[in-house]
Amino acid sequence: MKTATIALVVRTGMEIPSLLEVLSDENEIAMFEQLLMQNKHEPMSMLQRHRDMKTVQENEFGDYVEEIVSHPYAKKDIKDYGLRWLKSRMKIEEFQRSELEAAKIIGDYAYRIFLSDPDMVDFSLQGPSAAVRVKVFILAALLQASTGKVCNEGDKAA
């Protein structure tokens, strides 16, 4: 049985820890973990920039394929490959949406487990035919004494 991994990004330092995000992409989880180990400031912002860059690259390639397919002088086999790629891309995007929805449901359940026992930062959820490893990444929130504002540890104080 293959074990999938999800990660909860939780902010602590307030009365009740808050769930910021559920990560389900293995590459994003590894990247986020590495950013935390390197004590990088604003790891959530860095992750979002990475996502934005990846989306731009995927869209640019999709536009390129569409442009090739739409040219009347393109060979039939190239058009066929392009159309298959576009159909495949649509199926992948649909799968990713379903995966994100499932990860959110699992993440919400795992978050409730974490709230009941904050020492549970790396655990597994198992069913008869599936298992999910849950990692909890904690971002501490600090209360700035001078401003009374809450900021993430490592964020620049305003």
The pTM of this model reads 0.78
* For range 53-59, the mean pLDDT: 94
Pick from 50, 59, 44, 45: nearest CA to 93: 59
pLDDT tens, residue by residue, 68-103 = 888 888 888 988 998 999 999 999 999 999 999 999
Pick from 39, 4, 8, 5: nearest CA to 120: 8
Let me know if residue 74 belongs to a domain: yes
Per the prediction, the chain carries an average pLDDT of 86
* Number of domains, the chain: 1
Let me know if residue 157 belongs to a domain: no
What range does the domain containing 145 cover? 3-152
Burial of 89 (0-12, 13-18, 19+ CB in 10 A): middle
Q: Can you give the pLDDT at residue 137?
A: 94
Banded model confidence at residue 127, pLDDT cuts 50, 70, 90: confident
